[in-house]
Chains A and B, each alone.
Chain A
Amino acid sequence: MTKKRDVVQVKNPKSGHYVKIDRSAGKILSHKKSPKPYKNIPVARKSKENKK
């Protein structure tokens, strides 16, 4: 049985492109070449408790 991955995407404000992250492995998987987000990958957002 394969382990379920916890994959999200975050927008890099410098490049304006999305970065795909595997949270369970603590790994950056890839950088999107176009400015559009990856399909079917949730965009990670700051939780309220993290906000200043």
Chain B
Amino acid sequence: MIFYRPTEGDVEDKPIVLTPRTCFLMTKLGKPISEDILKIRKSITSVLSKYEFGCIDANSLMTGKDFLLKIWRLAMGVPLGVAIIDSSMKSQTMANIFYEVGWMQSQGKETLIIKTIDAKIPSDFVRTEYINFDTDFINRFNAFLTSIDEAAVYYGFLGDQLENNPLLSIDYYRRAFLITGSEEYQSKAKEVFERSDFKGRAKNSVESLHCGFATGNQIIKKICSN
């Protein structure tokens, strides 16, 4: 996977810190935050922890460097992005949230929009899965999280099927690893990497960065789900 930094369009040549089994929350963070958003956030965090998913947002890391680049790196390191919106949000906040949802979708992350019943979704996101925060919310969110685990099995299986295309195979293993955190996918990717004669490549080569989650070139951070 080649990542292009959104700030200047150059290729990211440093390994992105990966945080498997973690959800990146995209919502309004600055005060005032509506009661609805606070309630939805609390509910999401509680369900995610039952599935052993950790939760981070744009404020989770202090770097003192470029804020946009920081949140982009956080988003690129997780398997799942959840956007929370309500009708009281300003259009600037909404634009930021959907910009981040777009990043995540384009990089093969699982995404979900959780919204209050009266909140409207931009038309380009009509095919993006969304859940209304209503009486059936917990059931539907549970079903969504179960479907993510099924997707991980599918990605892992595609990784097996596509071994003759090493970079694609490793990429599917990486996606399965991000969702599950399972070492099984790391070893499978490492096997493909070693078999493909990529070993002599520079540490910041596309191949090495791509397989960094399996070779130890990339930092893997575990976020506590509680």
Q: Which residues of A contact B (CB under 8 A)?
A: 8, 10-14, 19, 21, 23-28, 44, 46, 50, 52
Contact = CB atoms under 8 A, between A and B. Distances in A.
A35 to B, nearest CB: 15
B154 A26 contact: no
Contact of B164 (A12, A19, A23, A46): A23
B147 A26 contact: no
A21 B159 CA distance: 11
Interface of B: 147, 150-151, 153-154, 157-158, 160-166, 168-169, 184
Contacts, number: 42
B165 A27 contact: yes
Contact of A26 (B153, B168, B184): B168
A47 B162 CA distance: 15
A46 to B, nearest CB: 6
Nearest to B162: A26
Contacts of A14: 147, 151, 154
B161 A8 contact: yes
Contacts of A10: 154, 157-158, 161
11 contacts: A13-B150, A13-B153, A13-B154, A14-B151, A21-B158, A23-B162, A26-B166, A27-B162, A27-B165, A50-B157, A50-B160
A48 to B, nearest CB: 13
Nearest to A14: B151
